[in-house]
Amino acid sequence: MEQSYLDDGESELFNNIDMEDLIGPEPSAAVENLALVLSPSVIDDPDVIIISPSDIFSNGSRTTTSPRKLAQKKTPLETLRPRYFFVSDFVAYTWCSQKAYFSILNPGFEEMIQEIKSVSDPTKKIQPVMKIGTAIHVTRELAVHAPPKPVKTCGPEDLFAIRLLNTFTLLHALILGKPVEREIPVFGMPLDLGILIFGKIDEINLDHTTGMITLSETKTRNSEREPRPPQQIGHRLQVMLYKRLLEDIIQGKMNWRLILNILHLKSEKKFSEAVQKEIICSGLSADHLDLLFRQVTAMTAALSGEIVLNVEYVYQGTKKTFLTRTVEYDEEWLREQMTDFVHVWTMRKPMLGAPVHEAWKCHDCSFGDICEWKQARIPRRNTDGTWTR
Mean pLDDT of 15-19: 35
3-state secondary structure of 364: coil
What pLDDT is stored for residue 3 in this prediction?
Answer: 67
- Nearest partner of 275 among 259, 264, 257, 288, judged by Cα: 288
- Beta-carbon contacts of residue 370 (< 8 Å; ≥ 6 apart): 30, 31, 34, 102
List, as one string, the DSSP characters of 299-332: HHTT--S-EEEEEEEEETTTTEEEEEEEE---HH
Split at pLDDT 50, 70, 90, the class of 39 is: very low
How much of the chain exceeds pLDDT 90, in percent?
49
Q: How many helices (H) and strands (E) does the chain have?
A: 14, 10
Query: What span, in angstroms and rounded, lies between the C-alpha atoms of 105 and 34?
Result: 9
320: exposed, middle or buried (Cβ count in 10 Å: 0-12, 13-18, 19+): exposed
User: Measured on CA atoms in the order 150, 246, 102, 130, is the torsion positive or negative?
Assistant: negative
What pLDDT is stored for residue 184 in this prediction?
Answer: 96
What pLDDT is stored for residue 349 in this prediction?
Answer: 83
Query: What span, in angstroms and rounded, lies between the C-alpha atoms of 263 and 245?
Result: 18
29 pLDDT more than 80: no
Split at pLDDT 50, 70, 90, the class of 149 is: confident
What pLDDT is stored for residue 1 in this prediction?
Answer: 59
Q: For 80-83, which contacts have Cβ atoms below 8 Å and span 24 or more sequence positions?
A: 80/21, 80/22, 80/23, 80/104, 80/105, 81/21, 81/22, 81/345, 82/21, 83/21, 83/196, 83/262, 83/263
Which amino acid is present at 281?
C
What pLDDT is stored for residue 69 in this prediction?
Answer: 42
What pLDDT is stored for residue 80 in this prediction?
Answer: 66
81 pLDDT more than 80: no
Count other C-beta atoms under 10 Å from residue 373's C-beta. 19
Helix, strand, coil in percent for the chain, rounding step 5: 45, 15, 40
Tell me the pTM.
0.79
Tens of pLDDT along 321-347? 999 999 999 999 999 999 999 888 888
Domain layout of the chain by residue ranges: 5-11+129-342, 23-80
- Nearest partner of 51 among 77, 27, 86, 81, judged by Cα: 27
What pLDDT is stored for residue 336 in this prediction?
Answer: 96
What pLDDT is stored for residue 58 in this prediction?
Answer: 41
- Rg for the chain (alpha carbons), in Å? 22
How many CA atoms, within 13 angstroms, populate the side-chain half-sphere of residue 225?
6
What pLDDT is stored for residue 203 in this prediction?
Answer: 97
Split at pLDDT 50, 70, 90, the class of 199 is: very high
Mean pLDDT is lowest, of 44-48, 207-211, 233-237, 266-270, for 44-48
For 62, phi and psi rounded to 5 degrees? -75, 145
Answer yes or no: are the C-beta atoms of 155 and 263 closer than 8 Å: no
